[in-house]
Amino acid sequence: MLFGKSSGIKNKNREKYDRVRRLMWIKCESCDRLVYYKDYKDNHYICPRCGRAFIMNPKQRFDLLFDDRTWEKIQLPTLPDDPLNFVDRVPYSERLAEGRSDTGYNDAVTTADGHIGGIPTTICILNGEFMMGSMGRVAGEAIVASAEHAIQMHQPLIMVACSGGARMQENVLSLMQMARTTVAVNKLHAAKIPYIVLLTDPTYGGVTASFAMLGDINIAESGARIGFAGRRVIEQNIREKLPANFQTADYLYEHGMVDMVVPRVELKSKLEKILSVLMHRSRPVEQISVQTPADSDASKKARGMGENPAYDKVLLARNENRPHFLDYINGIVSDWTYLAGDRLFGEDAAMCGGLGFWNGFPAVIIGQEKGRTIETRQLHRFGMPNPEGYRKAQRLMRLAERFNLPVISLFDTAGAFAGSAAEERGQSEAVASTIQTGLSIKTPYVAVNVGEGGSGGAIAIGTGDKVLMLENAIYSVISPESCASILWKDNKFKATAAAAMKLTANDMMDMRVIDKIIAEPAGGAHKDWQTTMENLANAVSEQIKLLQKTDPEKLPELRAEKFLKMTRKIDEAK
């Protein structure tokens, strides 16, 4: 709501209206406080008092996201108005005329070309100020045209969604736009054109149930409300009070529907990092520089150490000061972007993954994270993923395949999480289908056992073209402690079980289960993170270079042959 001498002026002359409005105060609809309009504008249309991010029109969005605020609108197709001659309290034709007069735009979709981080990009915006951003025939046709334009120009398409849903005044014709826009997304995927969706406040109905939730990467703007049916409709339907954070951006993140929640001011930099990887921008190799954290238990001898060499390896693989997945990411990977969620149920912090430059190679990197403090161990569930973690890994593998990015997996887990909820959500199917996905992707895949290779939870992300193993890592179907308890009926035989199981890296090489052992510094990886990460980074890079010489179409067949041959000639290997 506007306040001031000229409050309530007509919007027929948009330029005059904007000049007047810049001198006014506005009332924030969220905190009910008066805010000087210039402060509000300078803060990217976010209330400086309460932080509520309000709708931006297409020009404001283009200026925010494109380099140097430089962009060029593309011509979009138009169609005849009011196909049903619809009338409610006001004829639909009048509502359209009012929307055009108030906003200065012909309909709800506006598209422009520009650069993001120097990368030619198309941005398509669903304008929430035009009839609540509702999607009718013209909007649907414009979205299809924008996708076709991005394909023709071979440049990424960023979809900025802000909508109340399908346009009621066009009934089934608006409903059909859900299918038509999905066809457009399918064409983008088939052409391997990056399609990134930015969900802003509000995004609902037929828009979320079609093109707006089908991005290669889905980004939710902080504070956005996103859903299918509105909160009030759901509460009336189920006769229950919904949680306060229901259908917020953070709620969708927790439930696995979006990759990240990003404040408005950080959107451009986030898009630059994502596009640089997806578009294979060249990047110089950065020097690894990490500090080995102090080990508070360095003077203590681990319980069981010295019983036999095999069990010593078990204890080294589990050492609390040993680098974990996120440590390797922070030490080796540049421009890292964490991607979250399985798009089905939730985000699982036990299985991490994302995009970044590994030693200069753009790549998708996945792996289990165990955590280091009490809080982070609980958050990451000690590196034991639920089904949604494995399904997230599958999603990222397919993302890598679409954009011909190598997959690098760093597995380190005692196994998949064993719990009733995990069983209810299909733990076995999730592990099995992750193995299946890894074996079938048409892109280079390097898997590295960096610690504990525990059971199916490990091999789920261990079916690479090349499988490497750190010198003091272990690989086993069950822990030696559990093996001793089951077969020896006594846990004290754990070291004996470890030796019998032949679970060390040297054993894996002898049995041709792995392709290479990566050396660790004297005493183990926990003694010298710098050397460990340098050895790991170089070993993986070497394998990627070799694999990139092979036709991606042939990789699944070669990968299948590799695993089919495995375990057949153990005696010969000895």
The DSSP annotation for 436-460 comes to HHHHH-SS-EEEEEEEEEEHHHHHT
CA distance 101 to 62: 21
204 with 96, same domain?
A: yes
Integer CA distances (angstroms), 334 to 116, 330, 406, in order: 18, 8, 15
In a domain, 261, yes or no: yes
* DSSP designation for 301: P
pLDDT at 222: 95
pLDDT at 300: 65
pLDDT at 298: 62
Candidates 521, 560, 517, 557; CA nearest to 539 is: 517
* pLDDT mean over 309-325: 94
Domain final position from 54, 74, 96? 54
- Give the dihedral sign, CA 460/465/468/474: positive
In a domain, 290, yes or no: no
pLDDT at 7: 41
242 with 315, same domain?
A: no
116 with 12, same domain?
A: no
What is the tally of structural domains in the chain? 3
* CATH number of the domain residue 351 falls in: 3.90.226.10
Contacts with 54 (C-beta within 8 Å, 6 or more apart), sequence order: 29, 45, 46, 47, 201
CA distance 256 to 346: 4
In a domain, 348, yes or no: yes
pLDDT at 407: 98
- Give the dihedral sign, CA 523/525/529/533: positive
Alpha carbon distance, N-terminus to C-terminus of the chain:
80
CA distance 358 to 540: 9
Each residue's pLDDT tens digit, 439-450: 999 999 999 999
Q: What share of the chain is helix, strand, coil (3-state, %, to 5)?
A: 45, 20, 35
Each residue's pLDDT tens digit, 319-374: 999 999 999 999 999 999 999 999 999 999 999 999 999 999 999 999 999 999 99
pLDDT at 9: 44
In a domain, 223, yes or no: yes
pLDDT at 366: 98
Each residue's pLDDT tens digit, 275-307: 999 999 988 888 999 999 987 666 566 776 778
pLDDT at 8: 45
* pLDDT mean over 377-387: 95
Q: What percent of the chain has pLDDT over 70?
A: 94
Place of tokens 């090489």: 509
pLDDT at 19: 56
Integer CA distances (angstroms), 366 to 329, 392, 437, 520, in order: 10, 9, 14, 21
* DSSP designation for 116: E
In a domain, 523, yes or no: yes
Point out which residues pair with 3 in neighbouring strands: 25
pLDDT at 283: 86
Range of the domain at 98: 55-278
pLDDT at 303: 75
Is it the case that residue 410 has pLDDT exceeding 70? yes
352 with 501, same domain?
A: yes
Each residue's pLDDT tens digit, 119-169: 999 999 999 999 999 999 999 999 999 999 999 999 999 999 999 999 999
Point out which residues pair with 163 in neighbouring strands: 203
437: tokens are: 């996905």
CA distance 57 to 55: 7
92 with 172, same domain?
A: yes
319 with 463, same domain?
A: yes
* pLDDT mean over 32-54: 83
Average confidence score pLDDT of the chain:
92
Domain final position from 54, 71, 90? 54
* pLDDT mean over 308-326: 94
271: tokens are: 């898009």
pLDDT at 20: 53
pLDDT at 40: 80
480, 474 in Cβ contact below 8 A? no
198 with 327, same domain?
A: no
In a domain, 303, yes or no: no
96 with 23, same domain?
A: no
322, 524 in Cβ contact below 8 A? yes
439 with 317, same domain?
A: yes
39 with 82, same domain?
A: no
pLDDT at 567: 84
348 with 493, same domain?
A: yes
Each residue's pLDDT tens digit, 69-109: 999 999 999 999 999 999 999 999 999 999 999 999 999 99
67 with 46, same domain?
A: no
pLDDT at 420: 95
Each residue's pLDDT tens digit, 217-246: 999 999 999 999 988 889 888 888 999 999
The pTM is what? 0.91
26, 2 in Cβ contact below 8 A? yes
